[in-house]
C-alpha cells in the first residue's frame, strides 16, 4: 500500500529535479582493462576478488613463491609438498597517506586458542611489507621463533578462561601484534636479494620498537 501511494505521488509531482543526474565524463577503459587482466591472473590462483581483502598482495606472494591459496578460513597457503603457510602483510603507508616508521604485524581481530594452535602448526609465516602497491621486503619466520609471543598470548587466554562464565563467548585477545623489528631480527628476508635501503628515519624507528611490550 505504501509503495502504491509513493508511485501515485511520484506520478503527480514528476521526477526529482533537485539535482542533475551524475554524468560520466572520464575514460575508464584503460583502468578496467588493467583490472580485468589482473583479475584473470588472480583467478588462476584461486583469488576471485583480487581487489578485496588484500587479494592483490596475496597474489604477488603466491606467484612469487609458487604457493597455492587455501580457503578463507584456516591456513592461508600451501606448497607442492603440502606444507602450510600463514601470510601476513604490513602497509608502510597509512590510510591517511603518511609514511609509517614503526610497523607491526597484526594477527586476528579476536585471537583465540584455536588461532594459536593453527599458528603453531604451519610450516612458516610469510610477512610481506608493502609500500602501497609495491612490495618492499618479504620475510619468513618459523613458528618456533614466534613462540615468545604465542606463550604470552596463551597465558592471557588462560587467565581469561578462569574468569569466564559458563555459556559466554570463547575467551579471546583483541588483535595482538608483533613488531616488524622482531620479524627482521629473528626471521630471514627472502625477497629481495641484497640490502634493502630504507630512509634513515625508518631505520631508526624500527630499531626503537625491537622490544616493545607484547600485544
Question: For position 201, what pLDDT does the model report?
Answer: 55
Q: SS3 helix, strand, coil % of the chain, rounded to 5?
A: 40, 20, 40
Q: Span 71-208: which CATH code?
A: 3.40.210.10
51-92 pLDDT per residue, tens:
987 899 999 999 999 999 997 678 999 999 999 999 999 999
Cα Rg for the chain, rounded, in angstroms?
23
168-193 pLDDT per residue, tens:
888 999 999 999 999 999 999 999 97
Number of residues assigned to the chain: 215
The more confidently predicted of residues 205 and 128 is 128
* Mean pLDDT computed over 120-129: 97
pLDDT tier, 125 (very low <50, low <70, confident <90, very high otherwise): very high
Question: For position 71, what pLDDT does the model report?
Answer: 79
pLDDT at 99 over 80: yes
* Mean pLDDT computed over 99-105: 95
12-35 pLDDT per residue, tens:
555 555 778 877 788 989 988 999
Spatial CA neighbour of 185 closest among 160, 147, 211: 211
Which DSSP category does 15 fall into? Answer: S
Spatial CA neighbour of 35 closest among 52, 20, 19, 22: 52
Spatial CA neighbour of 137 closest among 185, 63, 86, 195: 195
The more confidently predicted of residues 23 and 200 is 23
What is the C-alpha separation between 136 and 132, in angstroms, rounded?
9
Give one DSSP letter per residue of 33-88, joined into a string.
Answer: HHHHHHHHHHHTTT-S-TTSTTHHHHHHHHHHHT-EE--SSS--EE-TT--EEEEE
What is the C-alpha separation between 215 and 193, in angstroms, rounded?
31
The more confidently predicted of residues 18 and 111 is 111
Which triple of cell numbers denotes residue 61? 606472494
Question: For position 26, what pLDDT does the model report?
Answer: 84
SS3 for 158? Answer: helix
Amino acid at each position: 500500500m505504501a509503495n502504491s501511494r509513493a508511485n501515485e505521488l511520484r506520478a503527480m509531482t514528476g521526477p526529482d529535479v533537485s539535482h542533475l543526474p551524475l554524468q560520466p565524463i572520464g575514460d575508464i577503459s584503460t583502468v578496467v582493462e588493467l583490472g580485468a587482466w589482473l583479475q584473470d591472473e588472480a583467478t588462476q590462483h584461486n583469488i576471485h576478488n583480487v581487489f578485496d581483502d588484500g587479494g592483490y598482495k596475496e597474489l604477488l606472494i603466491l606467484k612469487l613463491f609458487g604457493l597455492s591459496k587455501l580457503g578463507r578460513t584456516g591456513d592461508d597457503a600451501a606448497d607442492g609438498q603440502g606444507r602450510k603457510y600463514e601470510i601476513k602483510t604490513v602497509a608502510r603507508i597509512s590510510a591517511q597517506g603518511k609514511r609509517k616508521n614503526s610497523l607491526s604485524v597484526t594477527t586476528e581481530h579476536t585471537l583465540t586458542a584455536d588461532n594459536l594452535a593453527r599458528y603453531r602448526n604451519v610450516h612458516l609465516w610469510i610477512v610481506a611489507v608493502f609500500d602501497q602497491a609495491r612490495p618492499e621486503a618479504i620475510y619468513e619466520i618459523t613458528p618456533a621463533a614466534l613462540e615468545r609471543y604465542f606463550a604470552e598470548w596463551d597465558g592471557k587466554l588462560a587467565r581469561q578462561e578462569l574468569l569466564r562464565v559458563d555459556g559466554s563467548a570463547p575467551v579471546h585477545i583483541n588483535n595482538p601484534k608483533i613488531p616488524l623489528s622482531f620479524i627482521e631480527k629473528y626471521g630471514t628476508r627472502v625477497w629481495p636479494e641484497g640490502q634493502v635501503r630504507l630512509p634513515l628515519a625508518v631505520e631508526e624507528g624500527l630499531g626503537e620498537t625491537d622490544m616493545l611490550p607484547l600485544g
